[in-house]
């Protein structure tokens, strides 16, 4: 089949799981919605753990639990937590990090890994696109009608761009780009295009419009890098995307990689000219902006982080050290502001926290989940990797959920390549 009818036409038990996944993923888009239990516990995190327990018990009864993945992730989280506990440096909310690495992140990775195992691809796409649509609508409603218990109390300078229930616009943009690129990758990979294309174009247009309204720049760098790499590694998948416009024409688009480069070569000067035509206060990027970031923002944080890593490269300074050091440091040039919990680069952040083993863990997880033959793995892992270098995305539950999804896609791709049919004698 080449439409969404594949899998959806049957009475699949995956519908129940699809509903559960939708509730979990949507509640994670409401980080301001918390339980009044004396400490910072979000409703979405509680629902995530409830969903994990339900799925684990279901897999246990059917003897389908991937014990290697589950025990490996919990074991590594426990090891990193032990390294942190041995650190003598001052730390803030260390227990929160330990809970995340020992239980929350492994549970999230498990849920992402089992997504396609518990429902059809069409149902998985429905989960992603339904969550994307409802979250976009919620973010717009909250922007104009702020509901007190669904939004953070923000300072004035953080109240301009679209943020939804997130603290700042970067988190909303990360979510929008991630769900958009994953749903699109699944549709291209499985050639699952709806008969009525209007609603799909409207949904993706809404998501990209909300990302634009967030005024976050790194999401476009991550999306662009992901599509560029996919064009080089998996050009054959473009044929499936081409069917979206013309099902009757199955002729492959040849030399697509070159055409994409030509497109990029045209777009870069066009964006430069557009940027030059804007008023100084409206420019996308300026030399003064980059100089300020290097001297007083991320550049200052990068220099300080590298110096701190050099002081303790093997074991790090512990989870929560970043908040203790950067959030209360006397030097104003550190560049991360007050009450910060992580530095902007997720890989340097975990290296600073738990040493070289943490860095190898975080980078190795990306490599493990990447497979150049799987369009889903290429697009999504590249997007996550680029974002993690520009924002502390690796501390978000979505990061591990979608890495788990990519790991399942990568394993499926490797299994297909390993299968060699035997010719009939």
What is the overall mean pLDDT for the chain? Answer: 83
Separation between Cα atoms, residue 344 and residue 301, nearest integer Å:
8
> Residue 8: is its pLDDT beyond 90?
no
Q: Is 23 exposed, middle or buried (0-12, 13-18, 19+ CB in 10 A)?
A: middle
Confidence band for 196, pLDDT divided at 50, 70 and 90:
confident
- pLDDT for 319: 95
pLDDT by residue (tens digit) across 282-328? 566 665 665 555 556 677 778 888 999 999 999 999 999 988 887 66
pLDDT by residue (tens digit) across 206-215? 999 999 888 8
- pLDDT for 235: 66
Give residue for tokens 């890593």.
309
- All residues at 6 or more sequence positions from 254 whose CB lies less than 8 Å from its CB, including other chains: none
CB atoms under 10 Å from CB of 296, counted, come to 14
> Residue 238: is its pLDDT beyond 70?
no
Separation between Cα atoms, residue 161 and residue 143, nearest integer Å:
8
Q: Report the range of poorest mean pLDDT among 25-39, 45-59, 120-134, 241-255.
A: 241-255
- pLDDT for 122: 94
Confidence band for 124, pLDDT divided at 50, 70 and 90:
very high
Confidence band for 384, pLDDT divided at 50, 70 and 90:
very high
CB atoms under 10 Å from CB of 62, counted, come to 8
**Between vectors from CA 370 to CA 367 and to CA 372, what angle results, nearest 5°?**
130
* Alpha-carbon separation of residue 197 from 200, 204, 219, 250 (angstroms): 5, 11, 25, 18
The sign of the CA dihedral 363, 364, 365, 371 is positive
Per DSSP, helices labelled H in 145-197 are 169-190
Note the pTM of the prediction, 2 decimals.
0.86
Separation between Cα atoms, residue 110 and residue 107, nearest integer Å:
5
Percent of the chain at pLDDT exceeding 90: 54
């Amino acid at each position: 089949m080449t439409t969404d009818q594949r899998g959806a036409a049957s009475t699949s038990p995956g519908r129940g799981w699809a509903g559960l996944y939708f509730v979990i993923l949507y509640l994670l888009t409401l980080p301001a919605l918390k339980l009044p239990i004396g400490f910072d516990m979000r409703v979405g995190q509680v629902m995530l753990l409830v969903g994990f327990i339900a799925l684990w018990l279901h897999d246990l009864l059917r003897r389908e639990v991937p014990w290697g993945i589950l025990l490996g992730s919990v074991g590594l989280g426990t090891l990193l937590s032990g390294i942190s506990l041995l650190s003598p440096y001052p730390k803030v909310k260390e227990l929160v990090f330990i809970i995340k690495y020992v239980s929350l992140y492994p549970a999230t990775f498990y849920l992402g890994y089992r997504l396609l195992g518990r429902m059809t691809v069409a149902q998985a796409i429905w989960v992603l696109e339904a969550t994307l649509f409802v979250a976009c609508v919620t973010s717009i409603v909250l922007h104009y009608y702020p509901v007190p218990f669904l939004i953070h109390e923000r300072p004035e300078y953080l109240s301009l761009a679209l943020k939804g229930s997130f603290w700042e616009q970067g988190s909303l943009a990360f979510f929008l780009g991630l769900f958009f690129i994953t749903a699109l990758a699944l549709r291209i990979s499985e050639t699952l295009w709806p008969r009525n294309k209007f609603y799909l174009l409207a949904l993706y247009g809404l998501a990209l419009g909300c990302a634009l309204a967030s005024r976050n720049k790194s999401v476009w760098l991550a999306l662009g890098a992901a599509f560029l790499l996919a064009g080089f590694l998996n050009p054959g998948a473009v044929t499936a995307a081409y069917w979206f416009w013309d099902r009757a024409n199955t002729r492959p688009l040849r030399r697509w990689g070159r055409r994409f480069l030509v497109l990029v070569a045209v777009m870069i000067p066009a964006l430069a000219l557009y940027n030059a035509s804007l008023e100084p206060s409206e420019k996308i990027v300026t030399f003064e902006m980059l100089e300020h970031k290097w001297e007083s923002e991320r550049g200052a944080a990068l220099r300080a982080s590298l110096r701190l890593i050099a002081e303790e490269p093997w074991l790090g300074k512990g989870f929560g050290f970043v908040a203790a050091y950067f959030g209360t440091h006397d030097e104003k040039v550190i560049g991360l502001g007050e009450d910060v919990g992580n530095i902007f680069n997720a890989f340097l952040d975990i290296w600073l926290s738990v040493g070289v083993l943490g860095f190898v863990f975080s980078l190795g997880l990306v490599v493990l989940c990447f497979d150049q033959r799987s369009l889903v793995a290429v697009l999504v892992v590249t997007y996550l990797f680029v974002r993690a270098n520009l924002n502390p995305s690796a501390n978000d539950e979505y990061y591990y959920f979608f890495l788990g999804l990519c790991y399942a896609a990568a394993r499926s791709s490797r299994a297909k390549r390993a299968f060699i049919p035997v010719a009939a004698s």
